[in-house]
């Protein structure tokens, strides 16, 4: 069975310091993996996606994620946090199921950025 675990429900960093949001997945097949960001009362916006090409994926707003098959992880990082990065982040695994794009969402990590 496929699943996604976001290891931290809340992460707090100071502006200008690195960000690490952790995600582990379980999948019987070669998954596609995504990170989405959600600002309050908004929809989700795609940050980046992994689809079995390069294991280090660069996304928007300076974020990147590394796919590590041996660790079944897809952690999201950013070298220097900005106040505007404060939001909720979702790790998502996508698998094909009967021709349908089945997305499995993690529970989310709320990132707080302090001055």
Cβ contact 37:44 at 8 Å: yes
Instruction: Decide whether 15 or 103 has the Cβ nearer to another protein.
Output: 103
Q: What is the binding site for another protein (CB under 8 A)?
A: 4, 9, 31-32, 34, 36, 41-46, 49, 51, 90, 94-96, 99-108
Residue 15 Cβ vs another protein, minimum distance, rounded to whole Å: 26
Instruction: Decide whether 70 or 101 has the Cβ nearer to another protein.
Output: 101
- C-alpha of 43 from chain center: 15
Measured distance CA(109)–CA(17) in Å, rounded:
17
Residue 26 Cβ vs another protein, minimum distance, rounded to whole Å: 15
Residue 16 Cβ vs another protein, minimum distance, rounded to whole Å: 29
Measured distance CA(45)–CA(37) in Å, rounded:
5
Cα separation values, 40 from 10, 21, 43, 50, 55, Å: 15, 18, 8, 25, 30
Residue 10 Cβ vs another protein, minimum distance, rounded to whole Å: 11
Instruction: Decide whether 14 or 51 has the Cβ nearer to another protein.
Output: 51
């Amino acid at each position: 069975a496929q699943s996604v675990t976001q290891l931290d429900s809340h992460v707090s960093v100071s502006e200008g310091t690195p960000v690490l949001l952790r995600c582990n997945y379980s999948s019987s097949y070669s998954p596609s993996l995504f990170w989405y960001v959600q600002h309050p009362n908004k929809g989700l916006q795609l940050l980046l996606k992994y689809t079995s090409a390069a294991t280090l994926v660069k996304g928007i707003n300076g974020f990147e994620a590394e796919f590590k098959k041996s660790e079944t992880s897809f952690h999201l990082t950013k070298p220097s946090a900005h106040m505007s990065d404060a939001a909720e982040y979702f790790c998502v695994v996508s698998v094909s199921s009967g021709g349908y794009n089945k997305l499995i969402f993690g529970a989310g990590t709320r990132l707080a950025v302090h001055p």
